[in-house]
Amino acid sequence: MSAPVAVLAAGVATPLGLDLESFWSALVTGVDGTSGIERFAVADLRVGRGGEIKKITPLRGGSAPRCRASALLLKAADDLLGRAALTADPARIAVVVGTALGGVGELERALADAPGPRAAAAALYDSPAHALARRLGARGPVLTVSTACASGATALGIGADLLDEGAADLVVAGGYDILCRFVMRGFDALRSLTRERVRPFDRRRSGLLLGEAAGLVLLARERDARGRLGRLLGHATSSDGSHIAAPDPDGRGLEHALRAAMAAADVAPDDVDLVSAHGTGTILNDRIETGVLKRVLGPRAYRVPVNSIKGALGHTMGAAATLEAIMCLLAARDGVVPSTLGYEEPDPACDLDYVPREARHVRPRVAVSTSLGFGGCNAALVLEGGG
Amino acid sequence: MEPKEVLDELKTILVSRLKFDPRRAAETTEATPLPKGVEGSIGLDSLDFIELSIAIEERFGLALDESEDLSAHFASFATLSRFIAEKMPAA
Amino acid sequence: MTRLRAVGLVSGWGAGVAALPADAPAAADGRRVIPVPRPALDGERFRRATRECLLGVAAVEAMLAEGGLTRDAIRGADTALLYVTAAAYGASNRLFVGAGGASTARTAGGLAEARRGSASATPAGGRGETRRGDASATPGGAPGEESREGRAGTLHFPYTAPSAVPAEVAIEYGLTGGYVILVGGARATIDAIWQAARLLAARRCRRALVLAVETFAECEDLWARGRWAARGPLVEAAACALLEGDGHVGYGPADGPAPLETLAVRRAGEILACAPLVAAALAREAGQPEARLTGEWRGRRAAVTLALPAAGTPALV
């Protein structure tokens, strides 16, 4: 749908570290970022574990936003700006941010004990994106995407589109979500959470854990880029039209999105070196996704590493797909693919190479990333590493 | 509790928790199948079954073992009422 | 050009642009929110769906009727669905928060309560009791899901996502093409129209539905805290436009409102994301050959231009 765009740099705030290199080395080392949740009450829930960020250090300049979602987003932006400068006219800098839950933590607060217009405004789903734009001094388009757990991918695609359209010269794009009682109660009520640990694609898998994070990338048109982490070659979205909470049983929507993204990127199955799967660790998702990968990639599906980083982070919802895209580019940079933490025993229905036990020393050039979300949201990205 | 009383409670749950119209709930009988896709069924899907399980646990004071495959018990109102009546602690 | 093939609207004023008053603030007569009743869509298919989901379906139905189209005209993977809202997730989120017990945002208090084993750390109510809170604002007296006993839980949580509204629409009409969901007011709708045009230009779809739903009644007190209390009434609405063509829309920033933007607000009130679609409908009703649509949200305004074939022109695709 648009020409490839350059990914100049990335910034993150995650349960594995509040900066890119800490996050990356923890991923590669196989650190488990999930733990017992301490920040809010979980004693009445069946599962009280997740990828919790224990301490968010203050931002540069010392401020600490009260809204946790904004705090994470701005923390990731600090990390990003430490690696790349925003050298463009402010009116030409755009922000595209994806989130599944928006500012729902602030809604809880606005209803409970914070009257006043600011609390009410902070509860809007797009408030953190505007807080980020203010912090960056960005006066171009500001968009909030909410395609549930595919948001972090959809946002990157729209960011690329803004560049292709000429509506911006630099785009800060990514995703975020926080852990809060709202989402823990919700997934608890769906019985989606595992009482054990997250085991993507494993025979014994029994559900997901949630996590909180923010991930951002800096996008620019290729011809404007000096130095890059890599490129976003193609992207696509699709709808399942199947069920309000469960994915299409045959993964037809995800298949459609993956094929469309690869077509847009002009990438054939044999060009693919790495798959970053959605891999939540639920019985349904992992089976369906495996089926889609085999149908779209054919024999190539068996010859490439297919990993999921949700075992290490939990499912960070709006941030997930952005963090996974960043992982793909770092894998290309350093020649190492993180393992799928929690994966130990193969499932006959999931028979691909899910990078068990330890990181793989290969250098993938082209990666595809797949994401799914509530409401039948599907998204796929095609990325290429290398400067 | 007798299966008949359990059945009445289940019909209440159909309305209060699964959001069925009261007339539709009243029309169901013991023989009405529950899962979607079965002819004559009330058409419950996976989301409904989770909600139903939680409602049953709360209303009847039971603990359902998630690792067990309970789908046979959830086939119809008859099988479900019997299952619940048997599991309930003696009055 | 990108063509507006059909557009449908339901609002607190009634069905279509014909129901819009000449002057919404005057017609509101002091009311802060003009609600729209829960659509009476039959069948168990919608038993779990929230009011805003049903409004989304009602908007699509209104669009099909306006364009003289059947459902078959939009089914399939060739139709992209783009959904926009600034407010319509508020009701479901509020209900879910309310059912979860008080003071959950007070982390220290919550933890202390949890350690004491206090009941306030557990979901409110015993058997099936829902915390009503301000849910008495249910509009029009129509029974919303909150008036039926039932603790917000398993069936409710998926509906707290903004994606629930387009999901119910996609399921209802069998839409399996491109899928974009943006949160924001009128500016976000301009962005959505631009995204639809790009999908058309890239031939990723043959037609695109741009859908907007806004509800305010359940969160009237929260909206009252904001700036809109000083301006026209908040009017609940749902609008859907069907777009076709080769995808050019001239997307770009706009310094001020186009005449149609001002007209839509004067006629309909504050309908946030629905406004550009109402503006397009007004232009179509007036027989204009094209519509320059602008939309603003949080200080940023953009514009697109749509071609408006006369009503009754057959679709090219």
pLDDT tens across A74-86, in order? 999 999 999 999 9
Query: A321-366 pLDDT, tens per residue?
Result: 999 999 999 999 999 999 999 999 999 999 999 999 999 999 999 9
Count of domains in chain A? 1
Selecting from C48, C167, C226 the residue whose C-beta is nearest the C-beta of A117 gives: C226
| Cβ pair C303, C190 in contact under 8 A | yes
Count chain A–chain C contacts defined by CB atoms under 8 A.
216
In eight-state DSSP terms, residue A14 is B
Q: What is the pLDDT of residues C122-151, one digit of tens each?
A: 333 333 323 333 333 333 333 333 333 345
Query: What is the pLDDT at residue B88?
Result: 83
Interface residue of C47, C57, C74, C104 to substitute, partner A, most A CBs within 10 Å = C104
Nearest to A96 by CA among A160, A189, A191, A2: A160
Helix or strand or coil: residue C227?
A: helix
Q: Do B51 and C153 touch (CB under 8 A)?
A: yes
Least confident of A6-20, A108-122, C281-295: A108-122
DSSP string covering C47-79:
TT--HHHHHHHHHHHHHHHHHT--GGGT-BTTE
Which residues in chain C show pLDDT less than 50? 102-150, 316-317
Going by C-beta distance under 8 Å and a sequence separation of 6 or more, which residues neighbour residue B15?
A: B21, B22, B25, C148
How many angstroms separate the CA atoms of A300 and A271, rounded?
9
Query: How far does the CA of residue C11 sit from the closest CA of chain B (Å)?
Result: 26
**Token pair 């119809």: residue:** B76
Partner C contacted by B62 (CB < 8 A):
no
CATH placement of domain B3-87: 1.10.1200.10
Mean pLDDT of chain C: 84
Q: Tell me, what's the pLDDT at C122? A: 31
Under DSSP, the state recorded for B11 is H
**Using an 8 Å Cβ cutoff, are A148 and A379 in contact?**
no
Calculated CA dihedral for residues C15, C18, C23, C29, nearest 10 degrees: -40
In single-letter form, the type of residue at position A317 comes to M
> What is the pLDDT at residue C135?
32
pLDDT at B91: 52
CB of C267 closer than 8 Å to CB of C22: yes
Q: Inform me whether the C-beta atom of residue C256 falls under 8 Å from chain B C-beta atoms.
A: no
Structural domains in chain C?
Answer: 2-89+161-307 (3.40.47.10), 96-147 (no CATH)
Q: Is the pLDDT of residue A291 over 80?
A: yes
B54 touching A (Cβ < 8 Å): yes
The answer to whether A278 is a known catalytic residue is yes
Residue A226's pLDDT is: 82
CA distance C293 to chain B (A): 41
Residues in chain A: 387
Q: What is the mean pLDDT of residues A10-18?
A: 98
- Confidence band, pLDDT 50/70/90 cuts, at residue A130: very high
Q: What is the mean pLDDT of residues A152-176?
A: 98
Q: Are C205 and C178 in contact (CB under 8 A)?
A: yes
Domain of A275?
5-385
Give φ, ψ of A272 to 5 degrees.
-80, 130
pLDDT at position C149, please?
Answer: 32
State the chains in contact with A (3 or more Cβ–Cβ pairs under 8 Å). B, C
Q: How many CA atoms lie within 13 A of B51 on its CB side?
A: 25
CA distance A243 to chain B (A): 10
What gap in Å lies between CA B54 and CA B60, rounded to an integer? Answer: 10
